[in-house]
Each structure stands twice: as structure tokens, then as C-alpha cells.
Amino acid sequence: MLIILFSLKAYTQQKIVPNFPESAKISDNDTSSASFKDTSGILPTDSLLNDSLVNDSLKKQKPLRPKAKEGSFQSKVDYKATDSLRFNVKKQLVYLYGDAEVDYRKTNLKADYIELDLQKNEVFARGTEDSTGKEYGTPIFKDGAQQFEAKDIRYNFSSEKGLITEAVTQQGDGYVKGKTVKRMPNEVIYIEDGQFCPCKDRDAKTYILAKKIKIIPEDKVVTGPANMRIGSIPTPLVLPFGIFPNSEGASSGLIIPKYGFSPGQGYFLQEGGYYWSVNEYMDMSFTGDIYSRGSWGAGFASNYNKRYRSNGNVELRYTELKTGSEETLDLSKDQVYKLYWKHIQDNKAHPNSRFSADVNIYKNNQLDINSSSQEFLTNTFKSNINFNYNFPNSPFRITLNGSHSVSNANSAEVILPQATLNMDRIYPFKRKSKVGKDKLYDKIGLTYTTNFMNKITAHPDSLFGPKALSEMRNGIKHDFRLNTNTKVLKVASLEPYVNYSEFWEFEQLNQEFSTSENGVVKDTIGGFGRFGKVSGGANLTTKIYGMYLYKRGPVKALRHVITPSVGVNLTPNYEGSYYIREYQRDSMGSTGTYTLYDNGVYGRPNTGKETGTVSFNLMNNFEMKVRNKKDTTEEDATKKIKLVDQLNFGTTYDLFADSLNWNNIAIRTSTTLFNFFRIQYTSALDPYALRKDSSGVAYRVNKFEFSENGILGRFVTHSLGVNFRLSNKKQIAKKKKAIDEMKKSLNTYAVLPWSLSVGYNYNYARPNFDVSKNITQAIIFTGDVQLTDNWKFEGQLNYDLVAEDIAYTRFSIFRDLNCWEARISVVPKGGQQNYNFAINLKPSMFKDLKIERKRNYYDF
């Protein structure tokens, strides 16, 4: 009966095959049944169904269906096609036409035509040619992480073996092509007549041609005899075999050194060594440099990253640099060493403690062959190691710190260790049961800090030598502060405070005149000593708001905020005279004074007199509110624009000075215009006039410049910094789609991505009119322009306007060559004069396959 129905349908639809549904599924329980539903339309009523014949007494048979070998598939097989499906019951074959797809477990196959053999558990797929002979719908085979594109594919689900013709598969950063490809059950791939393209462009003309290639997934690609071809042209680069890493994670192996020639150092091998992938959280590399003229270097680097714990990296490098020669009697040796360590603890690692490190120790960075431009220009290297712990359910926290600072001025300072115990503010007089409003004493707060410091200051070469250690200073400081805050007339805030500092020292200073040395001899005497300081005062602050509203136009309002403040600080003569000593200064018998703790790590005691100052500050900022045309959610939407970030004036008055009580007037202002133009200005005005003595030396007199010369003050220092950065990259990002269309249609670049940063710095200093002006001016240009998708230019120019000469300058040109990239960078003059040209393959596995020519500063 089933055969008759099939014949009727084929006749009705004018086809030789039935039009089955787009999807048919093989169930888990019955691997031979494929459920489908006839969607071709309703057949004409068969008169035989309504005749009067007696029912057949034989057992009713199930319709025949393609039957696969029992147990062949262990799970559901899904298959579908957009055009049609055809079943061959006898051979147990399923034919799928048009965007066909088969899914079985982790295997997926797509093609325009697929044959599914239910008896052999095998599938065959290929594309289809159109009327022009162009093939479309070629197979795409996915099995787990592996994917192939091919001309045709035959794959057996049971044995997991496959035979692929003209296959293409991506491996790491490159593509592998093969005329004939065999896939084995262990996912190992064997390729005959293969090409290994080491870049992300599958159609690139740079590739490695090999007769045989073996791919071990997540491990390596192995080739037999291979030849590198560039532009499909054979090159002299022939390999007897090739082994290329193919794992997404890091793998251990040798680091191929860079080679070259330096006129100053001779032939060299640089940064060669061994890379060790310790585990998924840490790696290490051991490298070395060697030069034919005797210089050498060694380095160690490590990266680590433990999720929810910490991350960081370490770098240690030592170089012995030789310049000149014994024959010319100008041989010199210099040692360059570098220690860098950065450690960051994750916030989730521990709720109460945190450890961080930023260590940067560098000696002779300007001689380092491998130093970067930033390292070369750095004058001071600072290091810091911190450990913080917050005691649970208490106001106390402790900090352990070590710091190190070295400058190129042959000065070094080490503070190790430094320990600080802090107590957050507590309110010792606050009532436990609040009744009514807070009293003044309820708001009195107490904070406490104690600090221990051990400090060494010396030349970098003798930092931990006997002399430096003998001059090591240390001490302990305790700080107590009581303060409160209250409103005055409801418009001002008053903060009175009292401070007490207790200093513990472990050495005392002794000074006396030595007739044998005809000078003052200083000596330190061990022993515990202490002194204290008391101070108190108050700060009064308020805010004044000015607003001007506009009724018309895009500007809605202007606002001016004035923040005036006055502060008083008094330090009485507490214990000061007790620590003062008198000593003979010279052979004539003149005397001077000093305190026992002049060398104290935290300073010296009061010198027998009280001090007091009154500070005056006036801060201003200006804002404008304008209509926001971009905001369409509200009819009258506005936005704020800062006109002046700050315009501040400040000075202090000495209450106990007998003359010249006013300090210099400090002025500071800054603003940012249009989000890219930044202006900063600072200056200091001396309010007192100058006079000259009989020898022509200028000195300040207790008369104001305003009364003498009619001006507010005399500029002692002022500096101006102007910076602006322009870029069209945001506009390009907004119009990226339109630009892409223009590139396609016009084959040109309507808009070039570029950025330009210009900085101007001006500094002026002249404390007295008899002293020559000290003026520095410099202008710095930094910019880049991407001429095309493949060309990019970068540059930096520093010009000294005073010396009228070019200072540090560099520029570089980058060219993207598809699989390759080329870069030339030049520093034409200065202490780091050099040039470097390199052309190399992009993928990291081929980073050492390059041509490089360079010349460093010591070669000129």
C-alpha cells in the first residue's frame, strides 16, 4: 500500500522523488525510523478505501522505512535540507538537497548536497556547480574544536575517520591547506601536498610548501622537507623539517636569539634563551646577550596570574658593557642592572589585608642597550612595597612599607622598614544614649597615628656600605589630633583642632670645634631621647554662589562659586629651649646654636620661640549651563560646561615675625576648553619691594610694592602649560559604515585617521632683580596619521625654544604587508640616537623570522 501511495504522489507532483519535509530525525530508541509528514497536499480520494471488500485477516504490517544497522548510532542524528530529501529504502541511504545539514553528537556537517549512509554509518558531502561552473555550498565540517572547509568530504561516524579533498583548516594564527587530507580517530590530521600559511589571511601568497604535513591538535604542526614561498615564488629558505607550536596556551621551548651587527659592539646575539611555561598561572624566561667585542648580558623574566589572588611580573637584567679598545687606550667597562617587580593583589583575595609592590631599580639606564625611550628619559626611579591590614571590628589598621628612590644626580634614599599604625576617628565624648540635638562635645573626634621609620641616604654605589649604614637614621613619631566641626551663622563651617606630636629618637647630635681639624666636628651619640610639639588652630570656610540667568538663546545660566577660607595655626614654645645647645663655630670664638635632634628623621624640635600663621585662600570656579541639542528625551534638556576649573589665590601671614610678615601670593588657574584644550598657569608674587645695599646686592624691605611702585607684587616665578590634542578617530568611528562603502566604491580614503598632540611649557624664575632670569621654554609635538589601512606614521618632536635647538626626537613608519609587517624607527640626535629597521611575519610563532638592521647611540 505504501508503494502505491508513493507512486500516486510522484505522479501528482510531476517529480520522480517525493517531497519530504525539511527535517527528519532518527530517534534514540529506534535508530532506523525517521518520522516525517506529507506536506505535498491532499491526495484524491481513493475509491478502494470505501469499497465493500472484506477486511484482510492478515496482520497489518508497518510501513517500510530505511533501516540502519542495529546499534550503529548511539544517540540522535538530526538531518535537514531546504530543498528536498530522498530515501533509498533498499540501500538505506538518505539524500539531502539544498543547504543540507547533519548533526550527530559533537559533529556537524553542512553542504549543498549530502549522502547519509545509515548502514555504513557514513556521510558524504560536496558542493554544487551553478550554470557558470562556479561551485557553491561546499562542505563545512565541524568536530569539536576542529573545522574544515573542503571540496568534498567522506566521514565515518563509527570509526571517526575521514577523507577530505582540497581542505582548508585554521590552526592557531595560520591556515593549513591540503590536496588530500586524512583525519584519524585521535583527531590527528595527515596532509599530502600541503601549504601552511602563517597568517590570518587564508588566501595570502606567503606560505610554507610541504609534501607531507601532520597536525596534532592543541600541540604542534610537523612538516617534512619544506620551502618558504613569498608571493608564491620559491625562496632559498628550505627546511629539512618544521615543527610549529599549535596550542592556544603557552608551551615551553627555546627562544631564538636576534642577530645582527653593531659598529660599537660588533656582531651580536640578543635575547636568546629558554621559555618555561611552568603552569597555567606562571611562566619564566631565561635570556642572554653576547657581543663579539666582549659585552654580554643576562636576563630573567616571569609573569604570574592567579585568579582572585594576585597578578604581577618580574624582570631582572644585568649587562656588562664594554666600549673602546685596549689598543686605543680608551677601553671602559660599565655595569647596567635593572630590577622590576609589579605585584597587585586582587580585592577578593582577603577582606582585611592587601599587599602591593612596584619595584623599579635601575642603574645606568642611559647606557642600557635594551632600554626604551621612556626609560632613557627617566631621571628618577622609585620603588614601593606596601602591606596593609585592617583589624576586624576595630578602628585600627597597620601599614608596613619599604621605599627606594634613585636619581641620576647620584643620590639614593632607602626607607626600610616603615611601619604605621592608624586609628580611625573615634568620638570619646559622644553620649551613648542620644537625647535631643547633638552637643558640641558629641562631635569631638580623636585620631591617632604612630609611625616608625628607618632611613638611609647615600650615593647609589655605596647605599648599603659601612659608611651609609653608620649614618642610618631612625625614629618613632606619635600624632594625636582632636577636632570638631560646627556651623557658624548657618552659612560657614568652623573646624577647631589641637595636635600633639611625640618624637622618639635613638641618637643625639653633638657638635664642637676641633682645633686639630680647624673646623666643627659632628658626632652622634647613641641613646634614647624624646621631644614633643603642640599646635592648635581653627579653619573657617564658606561658599558663595552667584547665578545669572538668561531668558533667551542657547545659554541658560552662568554660575560662579567662591570658596573663601581662613585658617589660624599656633605652635607654642613647648620644651624647645631644653634641647638647644651652644657651640664654637670657628677659631675666632664665634658661637652658634643647634638642637640635640637636628639630624632627626622627622625633623627638629622648636628652637625656643613660638610660631603662628594665618592663611588666606580664595578659590573660584565658573560653570555655564547650555541647551543640550543632542538630548531628545526632554524638551528643554540642558548640560553643564566648566569654563574655569579653578582660579585660586592664597597667602599666609606670620604672626610672630618682626618684619616681612606676608608670604608670597600664590596664584593657580586651569581650564579645559572643548574637551581637548588644556591650560594651566601658576605664579608667585612677592608683595615686598627690593632695595640694593652699598655693594649692589638686592634685599627685601618691609615696604609693599604697591606703596612703592603701585603694583600688587613682583613676579618671582610663574609657569604656563598649554596642551591640546586633536583627533578625528571619534568621527571616523561614528561614520565607519559610510567610510567602508566609500572605500569599496571609490578605492580611495576619504578620511585619514590621525591625532596630534601639542604641548608648550614655559617656566620663569627671578627671585631678585640682580639675579639673571632663569627661563625654560619647550614645545613638544606628538602625532600619528594612518595614511591607509596599511600605512601609519608616528612621531615626536621636542624643541628647546631657549637653546633654539631640537631636543629628543623620534619618528617611526609602519607598513602592514598582509602576513608581514615592516617598521622603521629613528631617533636622529641626542643621547639615545639610533635607528632600527625590521620586517617580520606577524604571528608570534614566527616572530624570529625577520630581517633587522639597527644602530644604537654607542655606534655613532
Check the CA dihedral 126-128-134-140 and report its sign: negative
- The pLDDT value given to residue 96: 94
Contact 24, 34 (CB under 8 A): yes
pLDDT digit string, tens, across residues 791-812: 899 999 999 998 888 888 889 9
DSSP for 394-432, written as a single string: SSEEEEEEEEEEEETTTEEEEEEEEEEEEEEEE-TT--S
Q: In 10 A of CB 102, how many CB atoms?
A: 24
Residue with cell 626607607: 415
- The pLDDT value given to residue 33: 34
For 340, 397, 400, 481, 504, the CA distances from 390, given in Å and listed in that order, are 28, 4, 12, 21, 25
Residue 721 pLDDT class (50, 70, 90 cuts): very high
* Most confident region among 5-9, 101-105, 411-415 by mean pLDDT: 101-105
Residue 378 pLDDT class (50, 70, 90 cuts): low
Between 259 and 66, the more confident residue is 259
Which CB contacts under 8 angstroms, 24+ apart, belong to 395-402? 395/423, 395/424, 395/425, 395/426, 396/421, 396/422, 396/423, 396/424, 397/421, 397/422, 397/424, 398/422
pLDDT digit string, tens, across residues 495-514: 999 999 999 999 888 888 88
* Most confident region among 54-58, 623-627, 681-685, 745-749 by mean pLDDT: 681-685
**Nearest CA-CA partner of 547 in 643, 637, 646, 625:** 625
- The pLDDT value given to residue 424: 94
* Ramachandran assignment for 104, one of left (phi > 0), alpha (psi -120 to 50 degrees), beta (any other): beta
Residues near 655 by beta carbon (within 8 Å), at least 6 away in sequence? 570, 611, 612, 613, 614, 661
Q: In 10 A of CB 121, how many CB atoms?
A: 20
Q: Is 350 a residue whose pLDDT tops 80? A: yes
Q: Is 133 exposed, middle or buried (0-12, 13-18, 19+ CB in 10 A)?
A: exposed
Check the CA dihedral 550-556-558-559 and report its sign: positive
CA–CA gap between residue 188 and residue 166 (Å, rounded): 17
Between 125-129, 319-323, 346-350, 823-827, the lowest mean confidence (pLDDT) is in: 319-323
Residue 828 pLDDT class (50, 70, 90 cuts): confident
Q: Is 68 a residue whose pLDDT tops 60? A: no
- The pLDDT value given to residue 733: 57
Q: Is 294 a residue whose pLDDT tops 90? A: no
Q: Is 760 a residue whose pLDDT tops 80? A: yes
Cell reading at 591:
658661637
Between 612 and 708, the more confident residue is 612
Contact 639, 625 (CB under 8 A): yes
Q: Is 5 a residue whose pLDDT tops 60? A: no
Between 278-287, 289-298, 373-382, 830-839, the lowest mean confidence (pLDDT) is in: 373-382
- The pLDDT value given to residue 846: 73
Between 194 and 628, the more confident residue is 194
**Nearest CA-CA partner of 9 in 42, 33, 36:** 42
- The pLDDT value given to residue 735: 55
Residue 16 pLDDT class (50, 70, 90 cuts): very low
- The pLDDT value given to residue 761: 94
- The pLDDT value given to residue 367: 47
Q: Mean pLDDT of all residues in the chain?
A: 82
pLDDT digit string, tens, across residues 398-431: 999 999 888 755 778 888 899 999 999 999 988 8
The average pLDDT across 835-855 equals 78
Residue 113 pLDDT class (50, 70, 90 cuts): very high
Q: Is 654 a residue whose pLDDT tops 60? A: yes
Residue 553 pLDDT class (50, 70, 90 cuts): confident
Backbone φ, ψ for residue 428 (5° rounding): -70, -20
pLDDT digit string, tens, across residues 437-493: 888 888 899 999 999 999 888 877 777 778 778 778 899 999 999 999 999 988 999
- The pLDDT value given to residue 679: 95
Between 636 and 235, the more confident residue is 235
- The pLDDT value given to residue 317: 93
- The pLDDT value given to residue 45: 41
For 58, 132, 138, 150, 411, the CA distances from 135, given in Å and listed in that order, are 53, 9, 7, 11, 75
The average pLDDT across 272-295 equals 91
- The pLDDT value given to residue 293: 85
Q: Is 110 a residue whose pLDDT tops 50? A: yes
The average pLDDT across 235-264 equals 79
